[in-house]
Amino acid sequence: MSPDSTPVRLTQGAAILISGVSTGVSLTLSTFLVPRLLESPTPVMLRQWLSTYRLGAATMPLASVVSAAAYIWLAASRAGSLKVLLTTAAGRTAGRGYLAAAALTIGIIPYTIAFMRKTNNKLIELKERFDKEEVEGKAGADEEGEVSVQWATGAKYLVDLWGLLNLGRTTLLVAGSVIGLASTL
């Protein structure tokens, strides 16, 4: 397919747009949202983090898969066909930039599993424990019934760590977007 054909141009625009927007969302979470969460009382912080986490878990992997699929289609288009892309050195060379962009954008999924799952699970567990204790009237409380500084500090540490780890995902998305754009130009 001609590199100037309408389907190629539309796919280029869509792939770059989706990976670029995903980059912006991811960066915003770490640089704007997490600092605001850390200013909040711990119960509010956990509630807001969990809401944000659920929304991100429902949208970001899908966006990365769609973007990666578009980049792979562009790589196959540049190589002449998917078969040429997968079976010949010349095909892989022709689509190399788009393949790299695809690998980087979809890379947020294994990155999340490898580096963030433990923190995500601890935060979810803290929120669930808090909710259970809140029903019992002792949420985050120590023996005297006061909110435990250690509990609040641990929760804030985990949210801060999550924001830092999320920057790794942002880096993958930035690199994928830049390489996708460079491959298009």
Distance CA 6, CA 171 (A): 30
Question: pLDDT by residue (tens digit) across 26-55?
Answer: 999 999 999 999 999 999 999 999 999 999
pLDDT greater than 80 at residue 77: yes
Q: How many domains does the chain have?
A: 1
Decide if 119 is inside a domain.
yes
Decide if 33 is inside a domain.
yes
pLDDT confidence of residue 21: 98
Decide if 111 is inside a domain.
yes
Q: Domain range spanning residue 33?
A: 6-184
- CB distance 168 to 117 below 8 Å: no
Tell me the CA distances in angstroms from 110 to 22, 64, 89, 134, 153, one per residue in order.
16, 11, 27, 35, 29
pLDDT confidence of residue 130: 84
pLDDT confidence of residue 146: 55
Tell me the CA distances in angstroms from 23 to 106, 131, 153, 172, one per residue in order.
12, 32, 29, 9
Beta carbons within 10 angstroms of residue 76's beta carbon: 21
Distance CA 150, CA 139 (A): 13
pTM: 0.87
Decide if 1 is inside a domain.
no
Question: pLDDT by residue (tens digit) across 92-151?
Answer: 787 899 999 999 999 999 999 999 999 999 999 999 988 887 666 665 555 555 556 677
Helix, strand, coil content of the chain in percent (nearest 5): 85, 0, 10
Q: What is the mean pLDDT of the chain?
A: 91
Decide if 147 is inside a domain.
yes
Decide if 28 is inside a domain.
yes
Q: Residue 157 has which token pair?
A: 């540490």
Question: pLDDT by residue (tens digit) across 5-17?
Answer: 899 999 999 999 9
Decide if 12 is inside a domain.
yes
Decide if 146 is inside a domain.
yes
